Amino acid sequence: MKVSNAFAQIFAIFALLTLGSLMIIVSLHLLAFDDAILKVQEIYQSPWRSAQVGVVGLVLIALGLAFAKMLVKAGRPNEAVFFQSEIGPMVVSAGTLGNTAAKAAKRFPLVKNVKAKVHITGKNVEIKLRLVLWTGGHVPAVLAELQQEVQQRVKRLLGPDNALVVICDVKGIEDPGTSSQELGTSKK
C-alpha cells in the first residue's frame, strides 16, 4: 500500500506541475497563439489523432480518480470502535484504546518504554505495542503476561463482541547500568 500511495502522490505532484507550467507558458506568451491554434487544429482535423488524445485523456482522468480515491481512503483511518452495549450505543476512540494499553504495559517493572499503535477495521481491533524492555527477566513469560493484562483491560472497554489482537514488538532490551548516551553511540 505504501508504494501505491507514493505513486499516487508523485502522480498528483506531476499533474499540478504540468498544469502550473502550462499556465506559465500561456501567461508569458512563450507559445505563440498561432502555434497553439495550429496544434489544436491538427487534433481536430485528424480523426485518428482526436481518438488518440481522447483515449489518453480518459486514461489520465481514470488514473487521477483512482489515485484520489486511494489517497482519501488512506487519509481517513478508522479512529473509533462503535458497538452496542447493554446500556446503549458506545463509541471508544483509538486514542483511548492506545492509552489504556500503554498504561497496562507500564505496570510491568521490566517495561522501560512503550508506544501503542491501534488499527481498527470494523469490529476488529489490533493493538501493536512497541516495547523497550529492561534486562533481567524471562522475556517470553513477561510478554505473555503483558498481552493478557492488556487484553483484559481493553476488553473491559470494548465488550465481548469485538475481536482484539495484541501484538508485542520488542524494539530493544537495555541494561539498567548502561546510560542512554552510551547506548545511542553504540547503535550508530
Confidence (pLDDT) at 77: 56
* CA R_g for the chain: 28
How far CA 53 is from CA of 14, 19, 33, 39, in Å, comes to: 19, 17, 20, 12
How far CA 110 is from CA of 142, 143, 144, in Å, comes to: 8, 10, 13
Tell me the mean pLDDT in the region 58-82: 72
Tell me the mean pLDDT in the region 80-86: 75
Confidence (pLDDT) at 76: 52
Tell me the mean pLDDT in the region 105-112: 90
pLDDT at 30 over 90: no
Confidence (pLDDT) at 130: 93
Of the candidates 139, 126, 125, the one whose C-alpha atom is nearest the C-alpha of residue 171 is: 139
Confidence (pLDDT) at 64: 73
Against a cut of 0.75, is the pTM above it? Answer: no
31-63 pLDDT, tens digit each: 788 888 888 888 889 889 888 888 887 887 787
Task: State the pLDDT confidence band at 127, using cuts at 50, 70 and 90.
Answer: very high
